[in-house]
Structure 1
C-alpha cells in the first residue's frame, strides 16, 4: 500500500474491496433470502395493486415493498427499509468474522427520490405541519445518521444520486473512499420506494414503464416483443471490506460516464455507454475476453436493448453469458443496480447464476433461468436518466 497524501494514512488497493455482508428489502420480502428464493423460483415479485390508472380506480403490476419494519425507524417505509437492510448486512458480515473495532467505517447511501409517499402525506394530509422529530424523518440525511449512531461508525456519511445507475455509483464512491485511504470499510445502501401511482403514471407516459401487463409480457430484455419495465422498490445494503476471509465476491473496479445527450433518451451512437464498459475493464485490470457474465441493466425498453446489445457486440464480441433480472425483481429505479449486484454476489457464493426465464425468441447468450455458475468476472452495467452510465466488475473470491 502507498501513503495517502490527504489523510496521512495508508491507501487501500481497490482489488481488496469485497462484499462481506448483504441486506435486502424488496418486493419479495424483508430479507435477502426472500430475494434469493424469488429468483430461484422464477416468479416475478410484482403483483396487481389497486389505486393506479388515471382515475386511481385501476390495478397495475408493481413490485412494491409490503408494509413492515419498526415504526420507530420511520413513519414511512423508506426509513424502515434502510434500517432493516443495513442491520441485516452488518449482522451478515459479523457472522462472517467482520469486526468494526479499530476500523474506520463510512456509509454511502444512494437514492433518487427519497421518501415519496411520506412527503406526499406531509403536504396533502398534514398540510406541511408535523412535530419536528417527525419532519426530520423525511430528510435523506436522517436514516443514515440513525444507522451511524446505532453502530458507532465514524467515517464519512453521505447521500449520492445518479438516477437508475445510483447503486453502481454508490459502490464506486465507496471504492474511491477506500482508494483514498479515507475509510477501512464502507456500508453502501441504496434505496428506492417510489412505485406510487403518481410516479408510475409519468414513466408510463414516457413509454418506459408498463403497468397493465404482467411482468413476463411487458419486460423481455434481449427478447422479442418487449414493451418496457415493471416498476418496483427495494433497499439494499452491502458491507464492503477487506477484513473477512470468505466474502461473497470481490469488487475489481468500475467506471462512470455521461451521454450528455438528453434528459431521458439514450444517445443513439452508444459511444459513452461503450466507453463506460471499456473504462471499467481498464480500471479493473482485466481484458474483455476474461468476462464470463454480462449482467444487463435490462429494462426491456427498446432503447436499452439496442444500447446493451451494442455494448455486448462491440466490447465483448458477444462472448459472455447474459443475465437479466428485471422481469423478476422489477425495475427498482435508484436501487436497481444494487439489487442486481446483490444477486450476482449471492450467485457467486451459491454457484448458481440467477436470471429470468426466457419467454420469447432471445439473444443466443441470454441465460434461461437459474444456471450453474462458471468461473470468471461479471460486468454489471447500469443506465440512468440524464445520460448516467455506470459499470462495476465483480468476481468470485
Structure 2
C-alpha cells in the first residue's frame, strides 16, 4: 500500500527517473527474457499459421506467448498488462522505491484488446455476461491495477498511434513536474498483431510478413522492405525518488505533421521541431547526444526522415540503433520496448543493437556494443503525423 516515505527528499532527483521496468514481449514473459532476446541478435518472430494471404499460409510475427495470472483476466491482454506492471513495481521496490502519497497510472493504448473484441463480435455475436463485457473497456485493466496496489492517483489512457508510449512518458513527466502525482506507473500495451491487421499494413506497404524479420526489416540498411509486426506490454515506475534508478528522463517534445493520415511530411519540418522541443526541455544541445534510439521501422519514408534529422540537426555524430528488427514493431507499445532496451543498457553497460546484414549507414551499430555513457534520444513517429522524442541520460 502506498504511503508517505520520510526519506523521499534524501534521494530527490532533479529529473524524472525510471525506477523499475517490467516487460512481456514476443520473447516471453519478463524483462530478463526481453534483454536476453535482444542480446541474442535473433528475432522474436516465429512463423504463424493463418497469417498469410491464403487461409493456410504463414507469416512472421512476434506474438506474446500464452501466460500470466488467470485470476487477473480471461484475456491475455489484461494478463500481460497486469504482469508487466507487477514486475516493474517489484523491480522498483527492490531498487529502493517507496510510493508517495499520490501514485498515478498512465496506459499507452491504441486499439486495445483487438483479439478479444474480434471474438466478442464474431464468436459471441455481441452477447456476453456483463462482467466479461467489461473486460473489453480500456478503463478496466487500469482499474484492476489500481485496486491491486491501492493507487488512488489520476488514471488515464494515452493514445498517439505508434508514438503513444513516448507520449505517455512525457505526460508522466508533466504530472510529476506539476505535482499532480508523486510517482507514475506507465504501461504501454499493444496486442494488435492479428492476421487482419497484418494484412492491411502489408497492403499499405509498411509491414512484411513473408520473410524473416532480420532479412526484411533493415533500418538504415540497403534492401529494407518494412517492419515485422510484434506485440508487447511494457511498464515503468517513474519517480523523482529511488536509490538505484536505471536512467533519467531529462525531457521530451511532441508535434504533429498535420499532413497525411499515414505518410510523413516530406519536408520533415515538424520532426525537426519535435527534436528541438525535446532538447530544449532537457536543456541540452544536439552535440551532447551520444546515441540515437531510432524509430527504425525499415520503411523508406522513415529511413529518409531519420537520416535527414541525423544529418542536418545532429551532424551524423550519434551512434544509431533500432531494436524493431528484433522485437518487432509493437505499434502503440513500440517506444516502450525501445526505452526499456535503452534503460536496461544504461544499467548493464551494453547497447542492445540489432546486427547489420547489408550495406548500412556508417553510424549504425552492428549488434550489442559496450555502452559509452552519455545522452540518448528516442524518436517515435506515429500514424496521423504524431511525432515524439524523449531524452534519456545517466541517472547520476
TM-score band, normalised by shorter chain? over 0.9
* Partners of 1:200 and 1:247 in 2: CA distance: 37
Counterpart of 2:353 in structure 1 is: 355
- Residue of structure 2 equivalent to 1:38: 37
Q: Deviations over 1:192-216 (max 9, x none)?
A: 0011101000000000000001101
TM-score, normalization by structure 1: 0.95
Contact 1:40/1:370 (<8 A) preserved: yes
Corresponding residue for residue 226 of structure 2 = 228
State how far apart, in whole Å, the 2-side matches of 1:56 and 1:272 are.
42
Q: 1:309 aligns with which of 298, 307, 310?
A: 307
In the TM superposition, what is the alpha-carbon distance from 1:70 to its structure 2 partner? 1.8
RMSD of aligned residue pairs (Cα, Å): 1.2
How many Å separate the matches in 1 of 2:13 and 2:264? 30
Report how many residues are paired: 385
The match for 2:340 is 342
Partner of 1:9 in structure 2?
none
Query: 1:184 aligned to 2:175?
Result: no
In structure 1, the residue matched to 2:330 is 332
| CA distance, structure 1, for counterparts of residue 359 and residue 52 of structure 2 | 31
**C-alpha distance in 1 between matches for 2:72 and 2:175:** 28
Q: Which residue of 2 aligns with 1:256?
A: 254
Aligned to 1:139: 137
Give the gaps of 5 or more residues in structure 1: 1-12
Equivalent residue for 1:238, pick from 220, 236, 239: 236
The answer for unaligned runs of 5 or more in structure 2 is 1-11
Cα displacement (A) at 1:14 = 8.8
What residue is the counterpart of 1:203 in the other structure?
201
1:76 CA drift (Å): 1.8
Structure 2 match to 1:55: 54
Q: Which moved more, 1:15-24 or 1:69-78?
A: 69-78
Is 1:392 the counterpart of 2:390? The answer is yes
Deviation at 1:103, TM superposition (A): 2.3
Decide which of 320, 336, 356 is 1:322's aligned counterpart.
Answer: 320
Offset at residue 181 of structure 1 (A): 0.8
Q: Do 1:106 and 1:187's aligned partners in 2 also have CA atoms closer than 8 Å?
A: yes
**Cα distance change of structure 1 residues 386 and 14 upon mapping to structure 2, 3 Å threshold:** farther
Aligned to 1:24: 23
- What are the Cα deviations for residues 351-387 of structure 1, in whole angstroms up to 9, with x where unaligned? 0011100000000000000000112110000000000
Asked if structure 2 preserves the Cα contact closer than 8 Å seen for 1:14 and 1:179, the reply is: no
Q: How does 1:146-165 map to 2 (within 5 A)?
A: 146-165=144-163
Match of 2:313, SS? Answer: helix
Determine the structure 2 residue equivalent to 1:8: none
SS class of match (1:16) = strand
Please list the CA deviations of residues 152-211 of structure 1 after superposition, one character each: whole Å capped at 9, or x if unmatched.
111100101000000100000101111111011000000000111010000000000000
In 2, are the aligned partners of 1:15 and 1:253 still within 8 Å (CA)?
no
The two structures have a TM-score, normalised by structure 2, of: 0.96
Shift of 1:388: 0.2
Question: Structure 1: how far apart are the matches of 2:97 and 2:374?
Answer: 26
